[in-house]
């Protein structure tokens, strides 16, 4: 993009002054220049980013997210697939992660020369740039596991061809959004407005007129305020959001698959990371063990743990008990690693089921799962149970 000539800028300034209203003032308050990209459109574009500052959010906009907060306490960044509102301050880099973060900063520095080589502390705009850069990488990783690319998702549903939803963002019309709040109260004030519910933990929401997935995140607890803790939590939520969005969110996917995928992608970042949200970690389930892989091997050796015939019919995480978390994670790990193409076909078959009239339908998902498993692998649920346990016994 070429810079606008001076006379045009002057004309725009005059026009803006003539049309002065509260909206441009709010916008100015959102648009502190970023010390890393300096809001330079060429640098942003080269990095796959769109803008800082004012942008749509939920059913409203960035100004509404930051309402009531002191000036400069919020940062916003839009990328190819995301809009992120970031209300947290600086954080220290965990000593054990200094080298890893240094590698990331080195990569980011290639895009934005003002990014430091090494940092013990990350300030808010640098955290946000890192966070969005990582989210885009996780987006690509999850698309790869699902066996899809952006080009597979047309702008609108075509008259013929495979059903891929109704938009470019995994089947949704608009980008994925994260609003990250410093307090539970601010998260509740924001999320209550559209959900009607007052929740303490992260809330994921499908905005249906806009057709987009949104997460309101209260990063108030110590474990979510660290660089790694926030990253693993966002990845967990992103996996849920991308599975929901895939071929458009028309019905809830099977919970074992939904939770298993979220745990797999979260634990790829750190094997002991675990997100247990409000309705998750239900009454019946104890807190899962920190080392899932070790527990999965024990269950495989002893031929213990839940059976797939039961897991495939569970409707919500509140129904999880015993080793359900570990086995959902183990099943998805096994399918993605030992059978990546078939696993992608299975996920694609679960999402976007159509009825006789061509309308997305979530009817008889247990039956659909059994049918797909038979078609793809020739397995019934007991044969899947045997297959994953055999695979873990060799690891």
Binding site for Zn ion (CB under 5 A): 34, 36-37
Q: Give the sign of the dihedral formed by CA 380, CA 350, CA 235, CA 237.
A: negative
C-alpha to C-alpha distance for 184 and 149, rounded to whole angstroms:
36
Question: Of 128 and 244, which has the nearer Cβ to Zn ion?
Answer: 128
Q: Do 234 and 217 form a contact (C-beta atoms < 8 A)?
A: yes
Nearest approach, Cβ of residue 385 and Zn ion (Å): 49
Residue 52 CB, nearest approach to Zn ion (Å): 6
CA dihedral 89, 90, 95, 97 (to 10 degrees): 80
Complex with Zn ion: residue 128 or 296, whichever CB lies closer: 128
Cβ 37 to Zn ion, closest distance in Å? 3
Q: Would you say 101 or 262 has its CB closer to Zn ion? A: 101
Complex with Zn ion: residue 112 or 391, whichever CB lies closer: 112
Rg over alpha carbons for the chain, rounded to the nearest Å, is 22
Sign of CA dihedral 293, 315, 336, 152: negative
Torsion sign (Cα): 349, 355, 359, 362: negative
Is 177 strand, coil or helix? Answer: strand
Q: For the chain, give me the number of helices (H) and strands (E)?
A: 16, 10
DSSP 150: G
Instruction: Report, in Å, the least distance between residue 151 CB and Zn ion.
Output: 28
User: Measured from the CB atom, is 34 or 299 closer to Zn ion?
Assistant: 34
Q: Which residue, judged by CB position, is nearest to Zn ion in the bound state?
A: 34
State in angstroms the smallest separation of the CB of 305 from Zn ion: 47
Closer CB to Zn ion, 74 or 320, in the complex: 74
Residue 118's closest CA among 101, 130, 96, 132? 101
The residue length of the chain stands at 395
∠ CA 199-242-345, nearest 5°, is 140
Cβ atoms 324, 311 nearer than 8 A: yes
Tell me the closest approach of the beta carbon of residue 9 to Zn ion, in angstroms.
21
Shorter beta-carbon distance to Zn ion: residue 52 or 240: 52
Minimum Å gap between C-beta 284 and Zn ion is 45
């Amino acid at each position: 993009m070429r810079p606008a000539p001076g006379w045009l800028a002057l004309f725009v300034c005059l026009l803006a002054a003539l049309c002065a209203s509260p909206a441009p003032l709010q916008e100015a308050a959102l648009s502190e220049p970023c010390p890393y990209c300096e809001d330079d459109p060429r640098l942003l574009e080269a990095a796959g980013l769109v803008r800082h500052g004012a942008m749509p959010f939920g059913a409203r906009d960035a100004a509404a997210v930051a309402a009531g907060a002191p000036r400069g306490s919020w940062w916003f960044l839009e990328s190819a697939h995301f809009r992120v509102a970031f209300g947290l301050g600086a954080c220290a880099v965990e000593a054990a992660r200094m080298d890893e973060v240094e590698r990331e900063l080195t990569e980011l520095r290639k895009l934005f020369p003002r990014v430091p080589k090494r940092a013990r502390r990350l300030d808010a705009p640098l955290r946000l740039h890192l966070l969005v850069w990582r989210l885009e990488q996780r987006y690509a990783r999850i698309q790869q596991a699902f066996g899809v690319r952006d080009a597979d998702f047309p702008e609108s549903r075509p008259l013929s061809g495979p059903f891929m939803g109704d938009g470019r963002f995994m089947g949704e019309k608009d980008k994925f959004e994260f609003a990250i709040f410093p307090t539970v109260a601010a998260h509740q004030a924001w999320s209550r407005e559209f959900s009607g519910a007052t929740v303490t933990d992260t809330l994921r929401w499908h905005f249906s007129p806009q057709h987009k997935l949104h997460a309101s995140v209260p990063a108030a607890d110590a474990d979510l305020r660290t660089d790694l803790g926030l990253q693993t939590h966002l990845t967990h939520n992103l996996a849920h959001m991308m599975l929901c969005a895939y071929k458009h969110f028309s019905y809830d996917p099977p919970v074992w698959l939904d939770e298993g995928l979220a745990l797999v992608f979260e634990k790829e970042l750190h094997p002991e990371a675990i997100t247990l949200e409000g309705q998750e970690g239900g009454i019946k389930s104890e807190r899962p063990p920190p080392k899932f892989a070790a527990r999965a091997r024990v269950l495989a050796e002893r031929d213990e743990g839940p059976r797939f015939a039961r897991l495939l019919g569970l409707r919500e995480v509140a129904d999880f008990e015993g080793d359900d978390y570990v086995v959902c994670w183990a099943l998805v790990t096994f399918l993605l690693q030992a059978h990546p193409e078939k696993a992608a076909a299975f996920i694609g078959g679960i999402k976007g089921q159509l009825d006789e009239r061509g309308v997305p339908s979530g009817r008889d998902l247990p039956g659909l799962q059994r049918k797909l498993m038979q078609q793809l692998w020739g397995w019934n649920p007991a044969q899947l149970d045997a297959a994953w346990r055999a695979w873990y016994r060799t690891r």
